Amino acid sequence: MAQGDTELEARLEEQDEFEPSEEFVAQANVSDSDIYDEFEENWPVCWERAADLLDWDEEYDEVLDDSNPPFYEWFTGGELNACYNCVDRHVENGDKNRVAIKWEGEHGETRTYTYQDLYREVNEFAAALRDLGVEEDDVVTLYMPMVPELPIAMLACARIGAPHNVVFAGFSAEALATRMNAADSRFLVTCDGYYRRGDPLDHLDKTNEGLDSVDHGVDATVVVDRLGDDGFGHDLKGNQHDWDDLLDEQGGERVEPVERDAEDMLFLMYTSGTTGQPKGVKHTTGGYLSYATWTSHAVLDIEQEDTYWCSADIGWITGHSYIVYGPLALGSTTVMYEGTPDFPNRDRMWDIVEKYAVDIFYTAPTAIRAFMKWGSKYPASRDLSSLRLLGTVGEPINPRAWKWYYEHIGNEDCPVVDTWWQTETGGMMITTLPGVKNMKPGSAGPPLPGIDAQIVDTNGDEVKPGRAGYLTVNKPWPGMLRTLYNNDERYISEYWEEYSDTDSDDPDDWVYFPEDGAKVDEDDYITVLGRVDDVINVSGHRLGTMEIESAIVGVEGVAEAAVVGGNHEVKGEAVYAYVITEDGYEEGDDLRARIIEGVEDAIGPIARPEQVVFTPELPKTRSGKIMRRLLEDVANGAELGNTSTLRNPEIVGEIEAKVRAQSD
C-alpha cells in the first residue's frame, strides 16, 4: 500500500460524518432541506408529490383513506396501469430509442432493449398470456433467474392486471410449490436454465419437480430458452410452451393496458417470517408504484439520462422496486447482470461499471465485504469515474465496509446511501437524502420525509438517544403492504398487535412493528441493529429459522433441531444448526450431508448451514423452551449469557467444546 493510502485510511478511520460534495448537491433531484418540514406540515397530502411522478388514467379522490386501520388505502378512486407508466409513456414522450434495459449474461453476451423494444415484447407477451387463459386478477408465478424475460413478464402481467408472484430462482422445487399453492397460482413462467460460475444449471428439472407438488394443477407453463445448445434436452410437456414460439405467434400484437384501481394488487411476494409458512406480502398498483418511483427519484437520485445498476436479484423485493419498477417508471436505463461477481474474475462488477459508464450503483453490504476481502486492486484496475452515487441495502453495514466502499468505489466523491427498508415497506424508509443530509457510516440516517419512525421500549415508550430499543413506524405510507394474502388476521398479528390498540379505529393508535432492533442519536439518525424475531439475515437474504428447523427435523435420523444466526465475516450472518439425533442413528458426516441436502431441498442453497453440531441435548429453560440466545453466543464464540435459568446448564459447555473442535 502506498504511503498516501495509509494516510487516507487513517483519516477516514477517524471521520464519523461525511458531507456530500457541492457538485453532487447542485445537481441532486432533492436538495432543499425544507422538504422534511413540508412533508410533516402537509401530511398526508405531501404524498401527492410521489403520485405526481406517475400518469393516472383517473385522478384519485383522496390521498389516504385511514378510516379502517390498519387496512389503509392510498390514492383511492385513482386508476392507472403500472406497465403503461414504466413503458408506454416513455415511448409516447419521444423516448422510444432510449435504452430501458442493458443486460449482460455471465459469459459476456449482451442484450439491449430500448423502450420501443420493451414495448413490443411486453405487448406480445401480454397477448400470449391472455391467449393462455390468464385473466385479470389471476396470479402468475415467475420462477426465473436474471434474464430480461423476467422484467418483461412482470410488466406484461401488470399490463393485463394479473398480479405476479416472483419466486427467487435459487429457491428449491419445494419452495416453489409452497408459494404456488399458497397463492393459488395456475400459471407459471420459468426458464430452462442459467449460468453460474461458467456452468449451465438445470432449472427446468427443478421446476418440473416443483410442479408435481402443486395441489391444484397448473393451466400453463411458459419456458424461456436461455441455454440454447448448452441446454439439458428436456422435452416440453403438453401445457408447456416455448417463450419464443409464443412471441412469434403474436408477432406485433398490441394489448391495451387495463385501468387498475390504485388499490388493486400489483404483485405478491413471499417472505420469511417467524413460522414455517412464508408470508404473502401484498402490494398495490397506486401506492407501491408511487412510492418505489418517488424513492428512486429522491434517494437514488435517478434521472432519465442515468445508467443505473442495482446488483440485487429480481427474485427479492430490492429487484422489484429498484431494478424494475422505480428506474423504469423514471425512464432511465437499468442494468441487469446474470451471474456472480467473481466470474470470470474478481473485477467483474467494476468491468460492468466501466463498460456501461454506470452513474448509480446499489448493492448489499455482504457484497461490499466480499469485495473488500478480495482487495482494492480490482476496482483500482477499472475506470469508475462515471459513478455519482452509491447505495447499500439489506443488512446493517459496518463503518469499515462503508468507508471502503466510499473510498475505493466512490473515490470519496459519491455520497453513500445506507437504505433501511423491508419487503413489507415496498421501498426505502430510513436513509439520508443524499443531496440534503450528511452521512454517518454505520447509521442508515433519519426517516425519510413523511415517514414517522421511533425507537421504543417493550412498553412502547420512546427510549433515549443512544439506547437500544425497537423500531416502530407510527404513520402509514403509500408503499406499505396492504395485507398478507388471504390472511388479514396474520397481517395484524405479525405487524401491528405488538404496539397498537387493536380495538381502536383511530389511526393514531396503530403502530407498525418491523421486528427490528435499533437506536437513534441526537440528530435523529437511526442505526438498525438487526432482527429481533427468529429471522436471520444471510447475505442480505431473509430466512426464517423455523423454516430451516422444520427442514432439518424432516431428515431421517434427526429428533430435534435448533437453528440460530451466528456472525459471519462476509455473509453478515450464517446458519448454525444444533441437532439431536434419533436413537439408533449415528452422528457424523453422513447424517450431516443429508441434513444439508434436506435444507437445500426444502429451501435452497442460500439456507445451507455453515455448521451442523450434534448434541445430546439442547439448552432449555425449566419450562422446556430452547434458549436460542445461548446458542447464538456459542455460534459467535461470545461470552456466555446467564445460564442459571437452564434446566441443563452443563450442556452449553459441551456444545461449545464441540463447536470449537469443528472450527479448528
Per CB under 6 A, residues contacting ligand WTA are 271, 316-318, 393-396, 418-423, 444, 514, 516, 528, 530-531, 537, 542
DSSP symbol at 405: I
Question: Smallest gap, in angstroms, from Cβ of residue 518 to ligand WTA?
Answer: 8
Q: Which lies closer to ligand WTA via its Cβ, residue 69 or residue 514?
A: 514
Q: Which lies closer to ligand WTA via its Cβ, residue 406 or residue 420?
A: 420
Q: Which lies closer to ligand WTA via its Cβ, residue 265 or residue 538?
A: 538
In this structure, which amino acid lies at residue 645?
Answer: T
My answer on whether omega of the bond before 44 falls inside 30° of 0, hence cis, is: yes
Instruction: Name which of 613, 615, 543, 614 is nearest 573 in CA terms.
Output: 543
What is the distance between the alpha carbons of residues 169 and 637, in angstroms, rounded to a whole number? 34
Q: Which lies closer to ligand WTA via its Cβ, residue 166 or residue 393?
A: 393
Are residues 47 and 63 in contact, defined by beta-carbon separation less than 8 angstroms?
Answer: yes
For cell 446458542, name the residue: 631
What is the distance between the alpha carbons of residues 490 and 358, in angstroms, rounded to a whole number? 42
Question: Smallest gap, in angstroms, from Cβ of residue 276 to ligand WTA?
Answer: 17
Question: Smallest gap, in angstroms, from Cβ of residue 425 to ligand WTA?
Answer: 8
C-alpha distances (whole Å) from 116 to each of 56, 87, 91, 92, 120 are 21, 8, 6, 10, 6
- DSSP letter string, 518-563: EEE-TTS-EEEEEESSSEEEETTEEEEHHHHHHHHHTSTTEEEEEE
Question: Smallest gap, in angstroms, from Cβ of residue 442 to ligand WTA?
Answer: 9
Question: Smallest gap, in angstroms, from Cβ of residue 391 to ligand WTA?
Answer: 9
Are residues 383 and 414 in contact, defined by beta-carbon separation less than 8 angstroms?
Answer: no
In this structure, which amino acid lies at residue 220?
Answer: A
My answer on whether omega of the bond before 344 falls inside 30° of 0, hence cis, is: yes
Question: Under the phi-then-psi rule, with left for phi > 0, alpha for psi from -120 to 50, and beta for the rest, what region is 211?
Answer: alpha
Question: Smallest gap, in angstroms, from Cβ of residue 417 to ligand WTA?
Answer: 9
Question: Smallest gap, in angstroms, from Cβ of residue 274 to ligand WTA?
Answer: 12
Which residue is at the shortest CB distance from ligand WTA?
423
Q: Which lies closer to ligand WTA via its Cβ, residue 297 or residue 542?
A: 542
Q: Which lies closer to ligand WTA via its Cβ, residue 100 or residue 299?
A: 299
Question: Smallest gap, in angstroms, from Cβ of residue 598 to ligand WTA?
Answer: 24
Beta strands 187-191; 140-142: pairing state:
parallel
Q: Which lies closer to ligand WTA via its Cβ, residue 150 or residue 247?
A: 150
Q: Which lies closer to ligand WTA via its Cβ, residue 484 or residue 612?
A: 484
Question: Smallest gap, in angstroms, from Cβ of residue 477 to ligand WTA?
Answer: 15
List for the chain the helix, strand, coil content (%; round to 5): 35, 25, 45
Instruction: Name which of 341, 343, 349 is nearest 409 in CA terms.
Output: 349
Question: Under the phi-then-psi rule, with left for phi > 0, alpha for psi from -120 to 50, and beta for the rest, what region is 486?
Answer: left
Question: Smallest gap, in angstroms, from Cβ of residue 161 to ligand WTA?
Answer: 25
Question: Smallest gap, in angstroms, from Cβ of residue 472 to ligand WTA?
Answer: 13
Q: Which lies closer to ligand WTA via its Cβ, residue 544 or residue 598?
A: 544
Are residues 558 and 588 in contact, defined by beta-carbon separation less than 8 angstroms?
Answer: no
Number of other CB atoms surrounding residue 461 within 10 Å:
9
Q: Which lies closer to ligand WTA via its Cβ, residue 53 or residue 401?
A: 401
Question: Smallest gap, in angstroms, from Cβ of residue 393 to ligand WTA?
Answer: 5
Q: Which lies closer to ligand WTA via its Cβ, residue 78 or residue 273?
A: 273
Q: Which lies closer to ligand WTA via its Cβ, residue 250 or residue 272?
A: 272
What is the distance between the alpha carbons of residues 327 and 309, in angstroms, rounded to a whole number? 9
Beta strands 389-393; 360-363: pairing state:
parallel
Phi, psi of 35 (to 5 degrees): -55, -35
Q: Which lies closer to ligand WTA via its Cβ, residue 167 or residue 247?
A: 167
Q: Which lies closer to ligand WTA via its Cβ, residue 201 or residue 439?
A: 439
What is the distance between the alpha carbons of residues 440 and 589, in angstroms, rounded to a whole number? 46
Across the beta sheet with 265-271, what order do the strands follow? 240-242, 220-224, 187-191, 140-142, 164-166, 265-271, 279-284
The residues pairing with 418 across neighbouring beta strands, listed in sequence order, are 392
Question: Smallest gap, in angstroms, from Cβ of residue 96 to ligand WTA?
Answer: 32
Instruction: For the chain, state the CA radius of gyration.
Output: 25
Number of other CB atoms surrounding residue 628 within 10 Å:
18
Which set of grid coordinates corresponds to residue 94? 419521444
Question: Smallest gap, in angstroms, from Cβ of residue 69 to ligand WTA?
Answer: 22
